[in-house]
Structure 1
Amino acid sequence: MGGVDLPAPPRDDADVPRWTAELGLPGLVDVHVHFLPDRMLRKVWAYFDAAETHYGVAWPVQYKLPQHERYARLEELGVLRFAPLTYPHKPGMGEWLTGWAGEFAAEHPRAVRTATLYPEPSVTGYLGRAVDDGARVVKVHVQVGAFDPRDPLLHDAWGLLAEAEVPAVVHCGDGPIRGAHTGLGIFAEVLEAHPTLPVVLAHAGMPDFRGAVELLERFPNVVLDTTMVGTAFSERIAPLPADWPARLAEFPGRVVLGTDFPNIPYPYAEQLAAIHGWAAAEPRLGREFLRSVLYDAPARLLGVRDQLPA
């Protein structure tokens, strides 16, 4: 019942394994992590270094480390499986990044195979091959890609994912800045055309949290990820509604852990503490909510539940 039987939230990253163990969990499953080719990642970090120009707020990347150290940090945090997400911003990148992500997963046992897409004539070809090769999730970044998710070139790609029951982690909200084709109303049209499409609304649709809940009500295969939601950083620019924990209680099993590691401007533990706060605030959430969000629901989503400890 609410926070009555909960352990203390994690104080810092080193305290995360204690917290998960006291929840009775063997570790974490994170559906929203970023690993990219090194040259591309350096450009992403340079963009965040200039975040005050882009977003009007500083964004010091917390885990600006070499790739092997970032992977090791996830191991230290107890992340048993994660989805290394990539995202293209021009034609030709989708197939390249999908191939890179496949190679990354083959070399890193805690990573699941992922894919990405871009509206281009070849998209169903490379996406279909990735699904056949075992891709567990597809990243779609409407803001960075600056494309319309309703583009006719994507119609068959959405249909392919719906038929294969492969979820898409979709950044389609207006945060941190509005794009030409962002907004949950726009992506709702994709869901109306493909109502069985499994979708993870990245950042819980930030800043339109109420709109995200409405999509949960309308489409049974939509879930929310927690990426950056409720942290002190995000509360300054996109505060949660006061009834957020109560609304989440209406949708058991439909919230999954996401963090945006390594590109976050605070420690990983802060995201976990925010989620803990929701569980403590609402009597219908509590320990079972945390077990679901942190482990059971994301493991089911990624199709790895049978590979992990009970």
Structure 2
Amino acid sequence: MSRTVYVNGAYLAEERAAVSVFDRGFLMADGVYEVTSVLGGRLIDFGGHMARLRRSLDALEIEAPVDDDELLAIHRELVARNAIEDGLVYLQVTRGNPGDRDFAYPAPGTTRPTLVLFTQDKPGLADNPAARTGWKVISIPDIRWGRRDIKTVQLLYPSMGKMMAKRAGADDAWMVEDGFVTEGTSNNAYIVRGGRIITRQLSPDILHGITRAAVLRFAREAQMEVEERPFSIEEAQGADEAFVTSASAFVMPVVEIDGVRLGDGAPGPVARRLREIYLEESRRAAL
């Protein structure tokens, strides 16, 4: 059965959905996006995703097409129409179609932003078998632009990084700049040493992860020690354990980095416990 998607105010069968060839999201990657997880038919961390969406739109001077209440209604309608129990809702806002291709932005107020949402059905999303075995990651140079804190649709290099990892027999890649890990291709990166959780501090160098913020809050509430600073691949390879966080992977243990096994090669206790806490608390607060 065809999915129902949302495009600029209309709910459509996916095969009927379209945007202009002159849309700046297509021509210039001039747009931002968010992905919200759905567990038990309810939205996880929705408020955090909408706050980051507004931040990204403001940074690029793109007008918000609708308010948060309407976005919530659209999310819920798509979840209902597509009978999503566990899965994802993808949202993208672009600067829209100014009528032709031009490097310069269209004048404010002259072009309607494009708003697209669709769902992805992911039965058993929270029961990913990989969480019981852990991921293997490789390291790659971070050659992205300098504003990684804006969640733009410029995802070519992260996609290339995913493919580099796949070809190396790994699950993901950690990007490295000036000798230190920035983040994974679509997640924030962490190591654990002596029970202390270490992750890079917020800056334009990394995405300000919504799952990251929640996990660090839960960790501190559970009396776990958190240190926000850069770490190198070499330090990570000597760590007791490691993990990543994202909206779709939640808390995912990492058991191998560039061929070096961490600990006994199994997910560590800190990552396992944080995954349990995150899923429990997020389900409780879901909309």
Task: Report the TM range for the smaller structure's normalisation.
Answer: under 0.3
TM-score (norm 1): 0.24
> Who wins on radius of gyration, i.e. which is larger?
2
Which structure carries more strand by proportion?
A: 2
